[in-house]
Structure 1
Amino acid sequence: MGALLFILIVAAIVYYTKVYNSPNAKAVRAICKGKTPDQQKVIEYFCKEGCMTKTMDDDEYLSMVRAKRDSLNLRQKALNKIGLDEDEVSEISPATFEGFVYKNAYAKKRANGNWVSSSYQVAWLFFSSTQIYIYRYTFNMDEDKKTESTDEFFYKDVTSFSTSSESEQAHGLGDEKFEVESNKFKMVVPGDQIFVSMDGVADSENIIQAMKQKLREKKM
């Protein structure tokens, strides 16, 4: 009995010094102050280190991101922002692009080699007989932060649709920073280029080809 108690005491000391009281654990706890339980889980997923630590796995995190995305009802939110009924923007089927955004976000490489981050973007594009409307919404999983924007362009003013590989600077715990490459949908208009994350869309090339075809028709 005495030997077992001794082992338990030693294990508790090791856990406290190597895990709970480690520099990493203390830094993570400091960042988590004032956050919601879900936000704390996200921060721990990206930042917590050590063989004796436990965080959610990759699938759990992806499920959490999808659940938040779905709860936002972004297709309807986009239509509300544009101020049009869906039958007014049915020249072709609406297009949606989505994926993680790495700029100024926590990021990590999953077990399968793909990157994820604490920031996620969804974009909806709608097509009327004369204009293209694009709605972008970006939300953060580690804090109460979101950005949204709405733009509209006449077909004649759109130069091109394409894909582009862009490098963004993400960060880890503290001052750690690194570059992450991601695929973007690119829309070029006079004096500007609009980029939208698209790593989360399996048939993005088919969607873009349909958009290119409509743009060619409108410019004839």
Structure 2
Amino acid sequence: MGIIFFILIVGGIVWYVKVYNSPNAKAVREICKGKDSEQVKVIEYFCKEGCMTKTITDEEYLQMLRAKRDSLNLRQKALNKIGLDEDEVNEIAPAVFEGFVYKNNFAKKRANGDWVSSAYQVAWLFFSSTQIYIYRYTFHMDEDKKSESTDEFFYKDVTSFSTATETETAHGLEGKNFEVESNKFTMVVPGDKIFVSMDGVPNADDTIQAMKQKLREKKM
């Protein structure tokens, strides 16, 4: 009994020194101050290090992200912001692009080699007989922060639709940075380019081809 008690004491000391009181653990606890329980789980997922630490799994993080995305009802939110009914923007089927946003956010590589980040973007594009409407919404899993925007363009003012690969700088703790390549949908208009994350859309190329065809028809 005495040996078991001794082993438990030693194990507790090792855990306290190596895990709870480590520089990494202290830094994580500092970042987590004032966060809710879900945000704490996300921060720990991205930042906690060490063989004796425990965080949510890759799949659990993705489930949390999908649940938040779905709860936002972004298709309807987009229509509300644009101020149109869906039957007014049915020239072709609406397009949705989505994916992680890495720039200035927490990021890590999953067990399968794919990158994830603490921020996610969803964009809806709607097409009327004369205009294209684009709604973008970015939300963060580690903090109460979001951004949204709406733009509208006449077909004649849109130069092109395309895809591009962009390198973004994400971060970890204590000055760690990661260079992550991300696929973007690009809409070129006079004097500007609109970029939208699209890594989370398996049929993105087919969607873009349909949009290109409609743009060509409108410019004839």
SS in 2 for 1:113: coil
- Taking the aligned partners of 1:15 and 1:2, their CA distance within structure 2 comes to 20
SS in 2 for 1:29: helix
Q: How does 1:123-162 map to 2 (within 5 A)?
A: 123-162=123-162
SS in 1 for 2:136: strand
Point out 4+ residue stretches in structure 1 off by more than 4 angstroms.
none
Equivalent residue, structure 2, for 1:196: 196
Gaps (5+ residues) in structure 2? Answer: none
CA deviations 1:14-65 (Å, max 9, x no partner) are 0000000000000000000000000000000000000000000000000000
* Letter in structure 2 aligned against 1:9: I
Equivalent residue, structure 2, for 1:97: 97
Gaps (5+ residues) in structure 1? Answer: none
* Letter in structure 1 aligned against 2:33: K
SS in 1 for 2:79: helix
- Taking the aligned partners of 2:203 and 2:176, their CA distance within structure 1 comes to 34
| Superposed displacement of residue 176, structure 1 | 1.1
SS in 1 for 2:26: helix
Q: How many residues align?
A: 220
Q: How does 1:73-84 map to 2 (within 5 A)?
A: 73-84=73-84
SS in 1 for 2:84: coil
| Superposed displacement of residue 174, structure 1 | 1.9
- Taking the aligned partners of 2:36 and 2:215, their CA distance within structure 1 comes to 45
- Taking the aligned partners of 2:210 and 2:151, their CA distance within structure 1 comes to 20
SS in 2 for 1:211: helix
SS in 2 for 1:4: helix
SS in 1 for 2:181: strand
SS in 2 for 1:201: coil
Equivalent residue, structure 1, for 2:210: 210
Q: TM-score, structure 2 length as denominator?
A: 1.00
Q: TM-score, structure 1 length as denominator?
A: 1.00
Identity %: 81
CA deviations 1:149-201 (Å, max 9, x no partner) are 00000000000000000011100012111211000000000000000000000
CA deviations 1:128-165 (Å, max 9, x no partner) are 00000000000000000000000000000000000000
* Letter in structure 2 aligned against 1:165: T
SS in 1 for 2:42: helix
